[in-house]
Amino acid sequence: MINVTKPFLPPYEEYRHYLEGIWERNWLTNNGPLVNDLELKLKEYLKIKHLLFLSNGTIALQIAIKALGLKGEIITTPFSYVATTSSIVWEGCKPVFVDIDPKTLNIDAAKIEERITDKTTGILATHVYGNPCDVEAIEVIAKKHNLKVIYDAAHAFGVTYKGRSLFEYGDISTASFHATKIFHSTEGGAVISNDPELIKTMSLLRNFGHSSSETFGPAGINGKNSEFHAAMGLAVLKHIDALLLARKTQAAAYDKALATLNVQRPEILNGAAWNYSYYPIVFETEEQLLKSVETLNGHWIYPRRYFYPSLSTLDYVDKYEVPISESISRRSLCLPMYHSLKQEDIDFIARLLLRVQNNPI
Ligand SMILES: *Cc1c(COP(=O)(O)O)cnc(C)c1O
């Protein structure tokens, strides 16, 4: 069976090495030494100033919204994972959808201003598949209208834009280190910001608001992560360069094998060094997608419809016209991509897709 992704497990001995330390110290959670070490090593690897390791990428979004004090309306993209929208609603704000650019599949910066009202306080955009949003245009709009910017950078581990970590753009970026992401700690996430005051606030928020053992700052939540998760993160981080390289090689193999397949691929923003974390294709019609999925499933191959449905169709959001997102979400498919996927698997998947295209019934 070939799934869209398969979590990477480091050699067991490498993980056990960290577990032995946990047993020696008897320190399981609450800002332990492995959590600190992981935060330090991630900052070094990504060349960023500040990062807080959290329990997951959804809590990261919620803490970011809370730390920036966003209220009222938040401009966002309908083409993302559901956590992007549900976090806005969970924080008592209203998601206001702006359609996506049909080439990059990210929020269309040129359409943001027409949805800004006197209730808008922020923009929450996703770097879809790790492809950077038009961060410069978004920054100009945010400054002009005094809005805060959060990037859901769950897919963007290791991506740089103009030589800088993509995580450093916006007021806050959030990351997910879920098992299915390219870098993971089983469950996990992070917030990244260049503003030390925001980092201080978020470190209070992730720990119940404790400013000391008996004093409390803002109303917080439990967003910390454990030594066991940090251990997995540290063990995976040792292999990250190989994991990123494997994705790049596989993307090139797909590109070659699928050269004659009639699908659209997202256009990567100029100036970006991408991480190839997914292999998305956009069919001309949903019917072609469904036939392709059926054929692949018949051979025990399970691609995923990322992202379907368009979040604008959720039953707990107000309706906005976002025809491009609704059309693309019906036609986009992520092909299998993970460290141990073989060249022959890629060739087989490509042959099946071409067979569906060339033998329409
Ligand atoms: C995975 C993902 C999340 C959620 O992250 P978790 O760590 O699973 O909570 C949020 N946004 C996007 C775009 C994602 O892909």
Alpha-carbon gap, residue 236 to 218, rounded angstroms: 34
> 147, 123 in Cβ contact below 8 A?
yes
Which pLDDT band, with edges at 50, 70 and 90, does 184 fall under?
very high
Give the Å distance between the CA of 210 and the centre of ligand 1: 26
pLDDT in tens, 210-230: 999 999 999 999 999 999 999
Model pLDDT, residue 159: 98
Atom 6 of ligand 1: nearest residue by CA position: 57
Give the Å distance between the CA of 215 and the centre of ligand 1: 32
For the Cβ of 83 lying below 6 angstroms from any atom of ligand 1, the answer is: yes
Whole-prediction pTM? 0.98
Residue 359 has pLDDT above 90, yes or no: no
- What's the mean pLDDT in 77-106? 98
Alpha-carbon gap, residue 49 to 46, rounded angstroms: 9
Residue 97, H or E segment: strand 94-97
Residue 285 gets the label, from left (phi > 0), alpha (psi -120 to 50) or beta, of: beta
Q: How far is CA 29 from CA 25, 223, 351, in A?
A: 11, 12, 48
- Could you write out the DSSP letters of every residue in 296-328? HHHTTEE-B-TT-S-GGG-TTS-----HHHHHH
Fold matches, 2-237 and 241-358: no
- What's the mean pLDDT in 239-246? 98
Which residues touch 264 (CB under 8 Å, ≥6 apart)?
281, 282
Which pLDDT band, with edges at 50, 70 and 90, does 152 fall under?
very high
Alpha-carbon gap, residue 346 to 361, rounded angstroms: 24
Instruction: Please choose, from the candidates 295, 340, 237, the residue with its C-alpha nearest in 3D space to the C-alpha of residue 6.
Output: 340
> 206, 223 in Cβ contact below 8 A?
yes
Instruction: Please choose, from the candidates 113, 217, 104, the residue with its C-alpha nearest in 3D space to the C-alpha of residue 161.
Output: 104
- What's the mean pLDDT in 136-158? 98
Domain borders along the chain are 2-237, 241-358
Architecture of the domain spanning 2-237 = 3-Layer(aba) Sandwich (3.40)
- What's the mean pLDDT in 301-308? 97
Q: Which atom of ligand 1 is nearest to the CA of 60?
A: 9
For the Cβ of 62 lying below 6 angstroms from any atom of ligand 1, the answer is: no
Residue 360 has pLDDT above 80, yes or no: no
Q: Which two tokens stand for residue 5?
A: 């992704």
Give the Å distance between the CA of 178 and the centre of ligand 1: 7
Alpha-carbon gap, residue 173 to 125, rounded angstroms: 10
Alpha-carbon gap, residue 76 to 58, rounded angstroms: 15
> 305, 333 in Cβ contact below 8 A?
yes
Pocket test for ligand 1, best of 4, 5, 58 (most atoms within 8 A of CB): 58
Count of all residues that appear for the chain in the document:
361
Instruction: Please choose, from the candidates 352, 57, 91, 100, the residue with its C-alpha nearest in 3D space to the C-alpha of residue 225.
Output: 57
Q: How far is CA 95 from CA 67, 82, 233, 267, 315, in A?
A: 18, 12, 32, 26, 12
Q: Taking all residues of the chain, what is their mean pLDDT, rounded to a whole number?
A: 97
- What's the mean pLDDT in 311-323? 98
Q: Which two tokens stand for residue 243?
A: 């994991």
In DSSP terms, which residues pair with 141 in a beta bridge? none
Give the Å distance between the CA of 57 and the centre of ligand 1: 5
Q: Which amino acid type is present at position 357?
A: Q
For the Cβ of 229 lying below 6 angstroms from any atom of ligand 1, the answer is: no
> 169, 153 in Cβ contact below 8 A?
no
Model pLDDT, residue 361: 63
Give the fold, CATH level 3, of 241-358. Aspartate Aminotransferase, domain 1 (3.90.1150)
- What's the mean pLDDT in 161-171? 98
Give the Å distance between the CA of 83 and the centre of ligand 1: 6
For the Cβ of 189 lying below 6 angstroms from any atom of ligand 1, the answer is: yes
Residue 43 gets the label, from left (phi > 0), alpha (psi -120 to 50) or beta, of: alpha
For the Cβ of 85 lying below 6 angstroms from any atom of ligand 1, the answer is: no
Model pLDDT, residue 208: 97
Q: Which residues of 310-322 are buried (b: 16+ CB within 10 A; e: fewer)?
A: bbbeeeebeeeeb
Q: Which atom of ligand 1 is nearest to the CA of 84?
A: 11
What is the percentage of the chain residues whose pLDDT exceeds 90?
Answer: 99
For the Cβ of 227 lying below 6 angstroms from any atom of ligand 1, the answer is: no
